[in-house]
Amino acid sequence: MKIGINASFLRKQNTGIGQVTLNFLRKLSESQVAPKSSATGQASHKSQDLEFILYLEEDVELELPDNFHKKAFLPKRYKRDDIFRAIWWQAVMLPREAKKDGCDVFLSMYQSATVMPEKIKHLMIVHDIILEFFPNYLNNWRKKFLWLLTKRAIRKTDRIVSVSKRTEKDLIHNLRIDPKRITVSYIATDEIYKKDVSETESRMVLEKYGLEKGYIYAGGGLEVRKNVEGTLRAYKILLDQNRDMFAKLKNIPALVISGKLMPELAPLVTDAEALVKSMEMEGRVKLLGFVPQEDLPVLYKNAVLFSYPSFYEGFGLPVLEAMCQGVPVITAKGSSLPEVGGDSVLYCDPSDVEEIARVMKKILLDGNLRQTLSERGKKRSGNFSWDRFASKILNMMREM
């Protein structure tokens, strides 16, 4: 069996889909390595009945077994990562190349505009259908056209893997997908978030960003739907109304926000810098800009709480990342987030900044609650596994 995989997001490993692609391929490749025979010490024969072709927009370094092959198409001189490129890649090149290479099954690692020829079975991972709920993201005809092509492709694919039950429901109710075609399989975090952070690592990263342990942290990006504005306005309430209640803490902790600052993309992206200035909180809020993944575990670990009152998530990786590091989490009670947090986090109405502020204050003033949430979060984070995710998808592809 020859299996093609759209692994193009390997070029964007700092994104959620990039993380899913990378970790899935790591586990998939591990499953294809033959174990050594205990009798001879030599690698025992493993049936090479599967051949994998990774289709890439840009080549990347990745250690792979012999039955994996990479194909990169777009030349390095082509730098534009735009809608036209996405349409050409997803709707034209992938079906053409998969047919040319004789693929039996094709795996799309994300919702895309790819429609495979009839003889090629198509399995698509759908992370969310955010664009169906937030039309502001479709702010030009090119984006609208790509989304129309993507919805058409989702409807035509043979099988769908949804990363949450909420996304499954959205597919059924909004795109009228037959529930029998959908399988739910939860993703996990990168291994870097599961490792213990040493005091030395903490000191180095905190010094790098000029931070002191015990801040309130908000990360995961500055898209408007992630509601960093809600966190900022709730924090302003804490500063204005609760100084006396925080006397025993000596001061209300600083608010630290990470995420690439792109004010030119407003209103799709929150202009955090402008908001901080308008609320006169320059001395209280630290904007870090883009933070590389290797620094994020330390930022989570040293926070007193993590605030993520997102309006909508297909899964919610930042919440799981924080739970892995034992950070008390505030998140929204809607979309997929309760599937991730369970009883290990505290919930709020993301549209009610007064409620966000109350939940923040509750965590900040209750050390026993913080300890309980930390322990529960760490324990629950162990329920999410790349091994299970990769195994389920591999079995589905074998059965197609």
* 298: Cβ contacts below 8 Å, ≥ 6 apart: 197, 201, 202, 205, 206
Counting every residue written for the chain, the total comes to 400
Q: What share of the chain is helix, strand, coil (3-state, %, to 5)?
A: 45, 15, 40
* Euclidean distance between CA atoms 318 and 229, whole angstroms: 17
Tell me the DSSP string of 73-132.
-S-TT----SHHHHHIIIIIIHHHHHHHTT-SEEEESS--S----TTSEEEEEE---HHH
Task: Check: CB of residue 57 under 8 Å from CB of residue 74.
Answer: yes
Tokens of 26: 């790591």
Would you say 341 and 324 are in contact if contact means Cβ atoms under 8 Å apart?
no
Grade residue 376 by pLDDT with cuts at 50, 70 and 90: very high
Quote the tokens at residue 268.
């799709």
Question: Distance between alpha carbon 141 and the CA centroid of its chain, in Å?
Answer: 27
Please check whether residue 168 is in contact with residue 182, taking contact to mean a CB–CB distance below 8 angstroms.
yes
The rounded distance, in Å, linking the Cα atoms of 55 and 400 is 20
DSSP structure class, residue 362: H
- What is the per-residue pLDDT for 39? 46
Bridge-partner residues for 287, per DSSP? Answer: 257
> What gap in Å lies between CA 342 and CA 329, rounded to an integer?
11
Alpha-carbon span 24 to 382, nearest angstrom = 17
* C-alpha gyration radius of the chain: 22
Q: In what order do the strands lie in the sheet with 255-258?
A: 285-289, 255-258, 215-218, 303-308, 329-332, 346-348
| 3-state class (DSSP) for residue 198 | coil
Q: What 8-state DSSP symbol labels residue 302?
A: T
Q: Output the pLDDT for position 47.
A: 44
> What is the CB neighbour count within 10 angstroms for residue 164?
25
**pLDDT score, position 261:** 85
- Quote the mean pLDDT of the chain: 90
Domains and CATH numbers, the chain: 2-33+43-188+385-399 (3.40.50.2000), 191-381 (3.40.50.2000)
Between residues 2 and 63, the one the model is more confident about: 2
Residue 365, H or E segment? helix 353-365
pLDDT at position 155: 96
d(CA 263, CA 255): 20
Q: How far apart are CA 385 and CA 124, in angstroms?
A: 19
Instruction: Examine the pLDDT at 89 and tell me if it is beyond 60.
Output: yes
Query: Burial level of 153, CB count in 10 A (0-12/13-18/19+)?
Result: buried
Of 54-58, 82-86, 157-161, the poorest mean pLDDT is in 82-86
Given a cut of 50, whether residue 161 has pLDDT beyond it is yes
* Structural tokens at position 93: 């090149």
Please spell the DSSP secondary structure of 199-237, one letter per residue. Answer: HHHHHHHHHHHT--SSEEEE-S--BGGG-HHHHHHHHHH
Gap between the Cα atoms of 339 and 293, Å rounded: 24
pLDDT score of 44 more than 70:
no
Closest of 322, 325, 355, 353 to residue 340, by C-alpha: 322
pLDDT one-digit tens code per residue, 291-327: 999 999 999 999 999 999 999 999 999 999 999 999 9
What is the pLDDT averaged over residues 335-360? 95
